[in-house]
Structure 1
Amino acid sequence: MWNKRLQSARALSALQQGAILALVAGAFYLLVVNASDNLDALGIASGFGFLNERAGYAISFHLIDYTPNDTYFRAYLVGLINTLLVSGLSIALATLCGVFLGVCRVSDNWLLGRLSYLAVEFLRNVPLIVHLIWWYGLMLALPNVRQAISLFDVGYLSNRGLTLAWASDGSLIGWGLLCAVGGGAIGYALMARYRNGLAWKGFGPPVWPAILIGAIVLPLIVYLISGSHWQWDVPVSRGFGFSGGVNLTPELMALWLALSFYSASYIAEIVRGSIQSVSRGQYEAAHALGFSEMPTMFRLIVPQAIYPMIPQVTSTYLNIIKNSSLGVVVGYMELVSSTGGTTLNQTGQAIECIALVMATYCVFSLITSLLMNFYNYRVSLRTHG
């Protein structure tokens, strides 16, 4: 009897969901048909064929080859890569600064706790666009090229941005990063397998040294076996700019720093709240066993605080990716500036351009959520029946 009721409840739920899905699909179809009819009435061609046409506009910063003679699709790829670059750099720096500030917020050192509290409150209560404009103004106020600040003669900081030494063969960077990711994954898998075989769960060696060693050793082995020749292209001052190396423009630097420090303030509060959610008895037990403050924090408290931390940090990461669209304010050509801005204005294909931008951001967000959920699953406490 109960099985029949359960089956009927499942069937009713499936019918309700199917009906809602059909209504949404029908509404979407009507919108598409209506938009297509209106575009035809105005004599505006629809579709994505415009992506194969000549773009005709320049993009100052690009990691792949690009000229105004390339297609709109190539411009889209440049904007996509620029978005990924600033988002990845911002996530990395925001995480480091946020964890540091969050741990300092719960420190027993009164001065350290107060200073970190002031930093967090200041950073998160100033609008992001104000952060962006302030950092951009600061970058433009740096010395000119001839008076650039030297960074050990391999990099220079000026009002033209940050110029760093780079590999003469740029493809080596891409292959090196790929090998580093693969080596880190191998190191993580080996250490995880070793830790799972231990009798006492949670008391094995940390995972991060294995990841770091793998990320260094595998690229080195591939480099030695392949017989490649690594040569540095060191920047040299030439006239009103630098010759050689890679230049991180003031627009990229401003957007990177603004996103990083603004988001770090929210990550710091997430870290603080998660650490304080751990039972006070854990601290007392560690002190009773003779552990000092630092080992207690990083070996006992933080691992337990990671579980409630990850979902909230995931939301912050998603906001970083979406807020990278503010690069349009300072002229950094990312996805919205290129495809959602210049390309849209030149072609008039508003629906297609906006749909392409929305779909790309949606994919970015889904991939980020998938990776963070996988990490959450790996580190979460699980019971085995």
Structure 2
Amino acid sequence: MTQSPRYLSPDRRPGRGAASRETGRFERLAYEDTDDGWDRDEELPPLRTEVSEERPRSLVAYNASPDIPFDRSINPYRGCEHGCIYCFARPSHAYLGLSPGLDFETRLIARPDAPEVLSRELRARRYQPQTIAIGTNTDPYQPIERDRGIMRACLEVLRDFKHPVAIVTKGTLIERDIDILSEMASQGLARVGISVTTLDADLARRMEPRVPQPKRRLATIRKLHEAGIEARIMVSPVVPALTDHEMERILEAGAEAGAIAASWIMLRLPLEVSPLWQSWLAEHYPDRAARVMARLREMHGGQEYSAKWHHRMRGEGHYAEIIAQRFRKAARRLGLDRKLPPLRTDLFQPPARAGDQLSLF
């Protein structure tokens, strides 16, 4: 891999996944950092996280994908400070005129009005409740949620409306909201998926630099389980030649922690993610880079990624089928192969507001 013209040295990006600010695909101009010829003795400061705000007019996003088990989702934040180098959501930053690389994890956008907008949308006369997914694009429990609290406020809205929610996260901050989630779970309204990519602490630190360590995430599964909240262990993503050998051990650790089900997804490299990922491989695991990419191309007809329905999540071919068989066998042995019933929608009821006409019955 050749070095990106917008490459930042490691001392300028501590705790970051990407190494560069690659220009987004919608930009008319490409930018390049060059030496201006001035001699300087001072060192440039490390890259800091910047947070701006957005006032969304709508929050619930709908999809008709046959590959995912939900038709709607919400995102309290754009961008994600966790910095997972493999994150398939990175290209979404290009729509904002920002880099899917370092901008995605350092230039974040908070949506403080999200709870109010969500409440308004749920009150619409034509609204029909179905499970809302949170965390399918960017993690709602990334570090800035500790100060902003937007995710917790959205959960309070969903609780008050008795609306079902399914959360996916790597963030242990979800433990803060166990009080709300346990109440909802007792009514069949909440379920959580915790993603564990590897049990190797060093690999996790490199690949997911600002995510809590694997053991800490497993402890979160245990706390959710003890609070009566159904938790799923997600082996996601499976990285060929890097984490694939850990699948059974991750499932065993999840089952021991109290997970009641499991799922897996193969590494996906859409759009700008592929060059970012290959640059990361060249920097951290140059001895395995060729093998990792060869496996991925093998599963996508010679391409680095294919977005075909029923194909993009797991690939196809000999290697993909071996991984699928290993998962099925391990999940069955551990009792994690259960198909969970859908969350309840029959309890949905917009709460009364001041001045509303109350029902007599």
Using the size of structure 2 for normalisation, the TM-score is 0.20
Which of the two has greater strand per residue? 2
With a CA cutoff of 8 Å and minimum separation of 6, indicate the structure with the bigger relative contact order: 1
Which of the two has greater helix per residue? 1
